[in-house]
Structure 1
Amino acid sequence: MTKALFGPIDQIGYLVDDLDRGIARWIAQLGVGPWTVFRNVSLQGRYRGVEGIVTMDVALSYQGDIQIELIQATNATPSPYRNADGTPILGIHHIAWVVDDLDDAVARASANGLSTVFEASNPATNVAYLEPEGETGVLYEFIQGQGMREMIVAGAAAARAWDGSNPITTIG
């Protein structure tokens, strides 16, 4: 058996049309929480060769050691969060790994046949989404950011201890 090239999956991302309703569904239907919400997140990046600033609202929770990310795109900039006609994509979107060296991870994934479709950053994080040739749908994301691993460990511990109270904390 071979070892996974990038270690265990750290995150599963979902795109939603309404972040608050998405969080409510995950709590009511799946018992997943608590959630940390970040409003007005922006990423400067390039999607399939087109430069732009993507804005979104993001919510994070945990199931076991895996971070669950809900994303609501809040502008119409071409991005991996919208179809070619500009309509939002909804549903499961990506699986992700936190990496120490984004360039190295992208180079290794590219050598294995994946193509970069989106590269972006903000002061807290750098990301890249990749896809296999001829296969659209779920993307593979690599995330590099200071304190990301510690945030996941702390969030997973908070989810394991969650008693259902205080289901949402909003930052920004």
Structure 2
Amino acid sequence: MSMALLGPINQIGYLVEDLEQSIDRWRQRLGVGPWTIFRNVSLEGLYRGEPVTVTMDVALAYQGDIQIELIKVTNDAASPYRDLAGKPILGIHHVAWVVDDIDVAVARLTGNGLKVAFDAGNQTTRVAYLEDAGEPGVLYEVIQGAGMRELIQHGIAATRSWDGTNPIQTIDAAM
């Protein structure tokens, strides 16, 4: 039996420079798809204690039971998606778990020594990124959102039956 506090990892997140090119690479080189792109996603919250609004485009697909998230940040706000000089960070960024109660999850993780770097949300989702000084370069994310587990299960099922057609669906989150 696993001793993982939050259960199995649900997501691996990557920061990318060009969302479409990254999706094409994942599709063509690794066979991962279909993809759902969420355009104009906005998160409001605190980054290292300071108020922030971050905007981004996000693409989701699945490999087995793991959600692959590609993030292209679309504004210049200080955030966990940029380095100290303000340049976009690229590459693997975080591992994430969907939780039923984000406050309980954050309390457990901070009780184990992790520090909250980012706590933000929008009308459908709340996220918190935590960091461990002993594990630089990757963040630990907890996600709470209505229907989040169902979204993941639907995506896993769609991947299992995907025949390679209709590889990309786009949703404008601002609508």
**TM-score of Structure 1 vs Structure 2, range by shorter chain:** over 0.9
What is the CA–CA distance in structure 1 between the aligned matches of 2:79 and 2:162, rounded to whole Å?
A: 34
> Does the 8 Å CA contact 1:50/1:78 hold for their aligned counterparts?
no
What is the CA–CA distance in structure 1 between the aligned matches of 2:2 and 2:165, rounded to whole Å?
A: 42
Provide, for residues 39-71 of structure 1, a one-character-per-residue CA deviation record: whole Å limited to 9, x for no partner. 010000111122110000000000011110000
Unmatched runs of 5 consecutive residues or more in structure 2: none
Letter in 1 for 2:75: N
**Residue in structure 1 matched with residue 170 of structure 2 by the alignment:** 170
Q: Give 1:135 deviation, angstroms.
A: 3.2
**Residue in structure 2 matched with residue 4 of structure 1 by the alignment:** 4
Provide, for residues 7-65 of structure 1, a one-character-per-residue CA deviation record: whole Å limited to 9, x for no partner. 01000000000111110110011100000000010000111122110000000000011
Q: Give 1:133 deviation, angstroms.
A: 2.6
TM-score when normalising by structure 1 = 0.98
| Residue 119, structure 1, aligned to residue 119, structure 2 | yes
> Which residues in structure 2 correspond to 1:25-104 (within 5 Å)?
25-104=25-104
What is the CA–CA distance in structure 1 between the aligned matches of 2:123 and 2:136, rounded to whole Å?
A: 29
Query: Which region of structure 1 is more displaced relative to structure 2, 45-54 or 162-171?
Result: 45-54
Report SS of the residue matched to 1:68.
Answer: strand
**Residue in structure 1 matched with residue 129 of structure 2 by the alignment:** 129
Letter in 2 for 1:114: L
The percent of aligned pairs where both chains have the same amino acid is: 67
What is the CA–CA distance in structure 2 between the aligned matches of 1:75 and 1:134, rounded to whole Å?
A: 29
What is the CA–CA distance in structure 1 between the aligned matches of 2:13 and 2:57, rounded to whole Å?
A: 13
What is the CA–CA distance in structure 1 between the aligned matches of 2:26 and 2:45, rounded to whole Å?
A: 29
Q: Give 1:134 deviation, angstroms.
A: 4.2
Unmatched runs of 5 consecutive residues or more in structure 1: none
RMSD of the TM alignment (CA)? 0.9
4+ runs deviating over 3 angstroms: none
TM-score when normalising by structure 2 = 0.96
What is the CA–CA distance in structure 2 between the aligned matches of 1:160 and 1:139, rounded to whole Å?
A: 29
